[in-house]
Amino acid sequence: MTSNAQIGAMTLYIAAPATPAKAAIIVVPEIFGLNPGIVAKCDKLAAQGYLAVAPEIFWRFAPGVELNPDVEAELQQAFGYFGQYDADDGVIDIEATIKAIRAGSLSIGGTTPIAAVHKVGLVGYCLGGKLAYLAAARTDVDASVGYYAVGVDAMLNESHAIAHPLMLHIASEDGFVTKDAQAAMHSGLDALPNVTLCDYPGLDHGFATESGNRRDDAGATLADSRTEAFFKEHLA
């Protein structure tokens, strides 16, 4: 079952499994909004038995945005939104989403209540990957995964607060995460027992998108299999 829900003025896409959810996973989008790729990721998680909830990240200044990264004008539009975005607001939105999931206050289409789910994970992509890191450090989310997370090297001072498992997928040829940034991530995080960094040699930013020019099938399949096993272990 799929639908939209609201937390205040923030819209969320929800994909619910046919049977009671074994856990919930928040899906934090890239800078392209709740586009078909993010919807597809939610639907896949629901098929695995999870309640998948994707919050709209730019709702404060660009509600309803849905962009295609393979269209240059829309890519530039997304970069503009990224420049306006405050990650601290994103953490607030994630906290509100976690609380709503655990409290059972979400509903399908505003009419069909969704039962409370107490185990909550999070997966994020690009900007959403950055928020996965911040959620691991600042919230009580049970497990987090970030794909090609941007800006983590500038936030390593928060790593001491990571209390629950975190996995980060790093593309070695990421045009938005330099080699120096990747090295800093390894230097700052490798020793932490609850953090796992996975490197993908030769791959670029966006390699695990569901479709489009950026996708690498082999890399996406490998990363997604690791994510699936990670959530199976830590959201049980």
Whole-angstrom distance, CA of residue 161 vs CA of residue 126? 21
Which of 223, 176, 165 is CA-nearest to residue 198? Answer: 223
Selecting among 174, 216, 224, 234, the annotated active-site residue is 174
The pLDDT, as a whole number, for residue 191 is 97
pLDDT attached to residue 182: 98
Structure token pair of residue 167 = 């996995």
Q: What is the pLDDT of residue 108?
A: 77
Active-site annotation holds for 205: yes
Q: Which tokens is 22 given? A: 């074994």
Confidence (pLDDT) at 1: 60
Does this model's pTM top 0.85? My answer is yes
Per-residue pLDDT, 111: 75
| pLDDT value of position 2 | 66
Instruction: Set out the domains of the chain in order of their start, with CATH numbers.
Output: 2-234 (3.40.50.1820)
Catalytic residue among 142, 153, 205, 224: 205
Beta-bridged to residue 162, according to DSSP, are: none
pLDDT one digit per residue (tens) for the chain, 236 residues: 667 888 989 999 999 999 999 999 999 999 999 999 999 999 999 999 999 999 999 999 999 999 999 999 999 999 999 999 999 999 999 999 999 999 999 987 767 889 999 999 999 999 999 999 999 999 999 999 999 999 999 999 999 999 999 999 999 999 999 999 999 999 999 999 999 999 999 999 999 999 999 999 999 999 999 999 999 999 99
223 to 138, 168, 201, 228, 236: CA distances (angstroms): 25, 10, 12, 9, 20
In this structure, the number of other CB atoms found within 10 A of the CB of residue 18 comes to 8
Whose CA is closest to 145, among 36, 20, 41? 41
